[in-house]
Amino acid sequence: MANAPHGGVLKDLVARDEHLRENLKAEAHTLPDIVLTERQLCDLELIMNGGFSPLEGFMNEADYKGVVDNLRLADGALFPIPITLDVSREDIDRLHLAAGSRIALRDPRDDQALAIITVEDIYRPDQVKEAIQVFGADDPAHPAVAYLRNKVKEYYVGGKVQAIQPPTHFDYVALRYTPAELRAHFKKLAWRRVVAFQTRNPMHRAHRELTVRAARQRQANVLIHPVVGLTKPGDVDHYTRVRVYEAIMAKYPNGMGHLALLPLAMRMAGPREAVWHAIIRKNFGATHFIVGRDHAGPGKNSQGKDFYGPYDAQDLVMKYHEELQIEMVPFQQMTYLPSTDEYQPVDEVPKGTQTLDISGTELRRRLKTGAPIPDWFSYDAVVKTLRESYPPRAKQGFVIFLTGLHGSGKDTIAKALQVTLNQQGGRSVSLLLGDNIRPDLDTPFSATPEEHSKNLQRLAFVAAELARAGAAVILAPNAYTQASRDAIKDTILHQAGPGGNFFGIHVATPLEHCEANDRKGVYARARAGEIRGVPGVDATFEPVERPQLTVDTTKQNIPEIVHSIVLLLETDSLL
């Protein structure tokens, strides 16, 4: 028998509102709307299918404050993570948001109306307090804090939703189960005890052994329940991971395990996240939940220390054990014993016994370099899948980002580097100069600051897509602020997949030299007031932070500079 949902009732809003679907769909056409972000979309899907039971919408201020301060909703129910719908002041004014407003919530991918929210309240949260209370520190090294600072808008809208339809998925549809569907599946198979395993990483032999061991100890079946929503930036993409999960399921005894995908946007909140994960798996019908070492931890903080202790997550889940009503299965790290060809928890290995391990960092190094991965660590089918998605360094794309003043020589360096890389061969080489994808269509410095920012975003997107496909990209836009440079780098690192190899190069040619050799007369026109926004005249070129290479055309010739860039790529095994 499947576990009871959190709060006693599965809040399946899609089933609840099915009889109203056509009326709600028609009403949505008449309403102002909010196009959801990717994280809001993940949250809404789990609100509507009951994965976040007992929630029936985005948290109002009372629920939000209770969760941030005490891990509890206003009615006292345990819930550790704030689920919020963030909007800007402009959104509030544009949509005329107020208590009682009805707003359609739309899928950002196809613009379909998914639900209607009835606004209960609009409030301005203390986001610094949220970071400290929920994530443990207001430290941008934490991915959720960085998201809170850079992506989340300043106001939250609270209110219950009525479901029109769930989001449409085109990938791995057969592996996507709602809580009601997964519960029905367990019932059909007569699974009375189900151990759920949470993961956002590829699985290897150690994970298989850990889950089988948990099932054996609890006389249960195994639910492999990986996250395929938003995970930590830099994680292996979910398409690759699902192919890995499908390959590893064949290694379980027939009938022992089942694979289902979870469209969750993780927060990497460590102990609180572990409690949240337990609640979600309880809603999906699991009776047991594996909590490992440093569960949902984001890694190191700005001081180089772990954000959370290795067993803080297990301790917090145990603290709320009676309320959660899902049995935690605690596990330490598994290690390989070559003498017996088996995996054991590290705390059960006799002192002096030889053990072998491969860290995540070492695994990534072997994948990038093509070094062998032993069969004691993983399975051939898993390694083959990972190698297909993560080619060796010499086949990966990269982005060379040149920044400097107008006339610094960055365009000349970029063109010379393009010739050199074309001569090298092995990759296509793309050159993106100036502010625009087609710089010949626009006059330099003619764009407004808003247009300039959008142009840089477009360039970064194009560069990321090219690098993802294995190209060498030379990017030399007019990016004069550190914020714009950071935004370009962030796009490359997070969207280019295995091509997310980024090299920032500051062409630090002095202003006097740039102006003296300005054949196009840009500086003269700026000083005459004919054009505006020219760094060095009426705009500031902000200092370049942490470039991988700094060059100066008054001290080095172009071949020397190009050679130094080639050496940088060679040092990183990309050439």
Q: Which residues carry out catalysis?
A: 199-201
The answer to whether the peptide bond before residue 345 is cis (omega within 30 degrees of 0) is no
**Cα separation, 145 vs 150, whole angstroms:** 8
Tokens of 414: 């970029």
Distances (CA, A) of 119 to 60, 122, 241, 317, 387: 9, 8, 38, 33, 48
Looking at the DSSP assignment, which residues form a beta bridge with residue 123? 156
The rounded distance, in Å, linking the Cα atoms of 86 and 247 is 39
Q: Find residue 337's DSSP bridge partners.
A: 342
102 to each of 21, 115, 158, 329, 420, how far by Cα in Å? 16, 10, 12, 43, 59
Q: Are 344 and 337 in contact (CB under 8 A)?
A: yes
Closest CA to 233 of 80, 39, 51: 39
Query: Is residue 193 within 8 Å of residue 218, measured between CB atoms?
Result: yes
Q: Residues 81-94, buried b or exposed e (16+ Cβ, 10 A)?
A: bbbbbbbeeebbee
What values do phi and psi take at 102, rounded to 5?
-115, 125
Angstrom distance (rounded) from CA 560 to CA 473:
20
Q: Which of 259, 317, 316 is nearest to 288 (CA)?
A: 317
Q: Measured between alpha carbons, how far is 431 from 100 in angstroms, rounded to an integer?
A: 52
